Amino acid sequence: MIRWILFVFLVLYIVVPMLMPVIFSFSVFWQDILPQGFTLRWYEAILTRPANYEALLVSLTVASSAVLLNVLITVPAAYALNRMASKWGQRLREGAMILPLIFPPLVVGTALLQAFTRPPLALTGTLWMVIIAHTILGFPFMFRIVLAAFQTIDERTLSEAAASLGANLWQRMRYVLIPNVLPGILSGALLVFAISMGEFEVTSMVAGFTAQTLPLRLFQQIRNDMRVASAITAFLIYVSFLSFMLMSYLGARMRRLRAL
């Protein structure tokens, strides 16, 4: 019984605050205890007000690019590192996963600012800078998932079987390994996407006026128009929630394959 009460409190504590912007985003008016009216006006405002719409586009561009770059980086990196059997390989695997997680965003932001202010890499304030930052922020998460995928499918034996049947490295990747680690890649990609869509701290440090993402815009809107702000917030909640749902589905698929 006590356990249930605690559980209910937990739900109230965590879920209800998260629901507030969602409720607010659909209501015309909310000043008393209960919100009044139902409207999609605030969501419309995301698409119709140019500043909002552009921020959405920037965010989608940045998130997609960060996903694409991370796919290109993590898949070969996880393949190679999974192959390193030595103690050093083991340490490298652990290091690569933890290192970026232990630095606070503020530190990462400062480091990026210092790294990319001088020519030929004077990228600070540009869209590129934001993409690079989000790629770096997403990398450890995606790498962890993709590496786990390579580990669970017994990549070495599958590769050897494919090689003995005449497949070269490219064909082994294309026909055997990628299809089997795909749930992991998609899972990682979703996580990178979700992280990128919601990232604020580092972005606020490295982005200039040309690269205002949705969360940056949201931060402005909180002071200007709380209702549009809650629509943006709600939208970001949907992105996170959907990503999470899809990831658990993919995780279940991975486990089914692993049962083989």
Partner 1 sequence: MARVEVEGLTKRFGRVIAVQDFTLEVKEGELVSLLGPSGCGKTTVLRCIAGFERPDAGRIIVDGQVLNEVPPERRNIGMVFQTYALFPHMTVADNIAFSLMIRGRPREERERVVKEMLSLVHLEGMEDRYPHQLSGGQRQRVALARALAMRPKVLLLDEPLSALDAKIREELRGEIRRIQKTLGITTLYVTHDQEEALALSDRVVVMNMGRIEQVGTPAEIYNAPRTPFVAMFVGTMNLLPGRLESDGRFLWKGTAFQVHRGVEIHGRGEVYLALRPERLKIAASPDQIPPEHNRIPGRVEWVTFLGPIGRLTVRSDGETLLVDLSSDEAIRFPVGSPVWIHFHPESAHLVPKESG
Q: Is the peptide bond before 120 cis (omega within 30 degrees of 0)?
A: yes
Question: Distance between CA 222 and CA 230 in Å, rounded?
Answer: 8
* Segment 121 to 160, residues that bind partner 1, using CB under 8 A: 153-154, 157-158, 160
Q: Which of 10, 14, 161, 252 is in the footprint of partner 1 by CB under 8 A? A: 161
- HEC assignment per residue over 158-226: HHHHHHHCCCCHHHHHHHHHHHHHHHHHHHHHHHHHHHHHHCCHHHHHHCCHHHCCHHHHHHHHHHHCH
Task: CB nearer to partner 1: give 73 or 163.
Answer: 163
Q: How far is the CB of 154 from partner 1 (least distance, A)?
A: 7
Q: Which two tokens stand for residue 77?
A: 């990196």
Tell whether residue 249 is a contact of partner 1 (CB under 8 A): no
CB of residue 173 vs partner 1: minimum separation in angstroms? 13
Tokens standing for residue 127: 């869209």
Residue 88 makes contact with partner 1 by CB under 8 A: no
CB of 79 to partner 1, least distance (A): 17
For residue 105, CA distances in Å to 95, 203, 218 come to: 18, 9, 19
**Min CB(89)–partner 1 separation in Å:** 14
Q: Which of 42, 32, 56, 45 is nearest to 227 (CA)?
A: 42
Quote the DSSP letter at residue 39.
Answer: -
251 binds partner 1 (CB under 8 A): no
Interaction between residue 44 and partner 1 (CB under 8 A):
no
87 makes contact with partner 1 (CB under 8 A): no
Asked if 159 contacts 177 with a C-beta cutoff of 8 angstroms, the reply is: yes
Q: Confirm or reject binding of residue 201 to partner 1 (CB under 8 A).
A: no
The one among 61, 171, 204, 220 contacting partner 1 by CB under 8 A: 171
Q: 170 vs 209, which CB is nearer to partner 1?
A: 170
> Does residue 82 bind partner 1 (CB under 8 A)?
no
Please, what is the minimum distance in Å from the beta carbon of residue 256 to partner 1?
8
Interacting residues with partner 1 (CB under 8 A): 153-154, 157-158, 160-168, 171, 175-176, 179-180, 256-257, 259-260
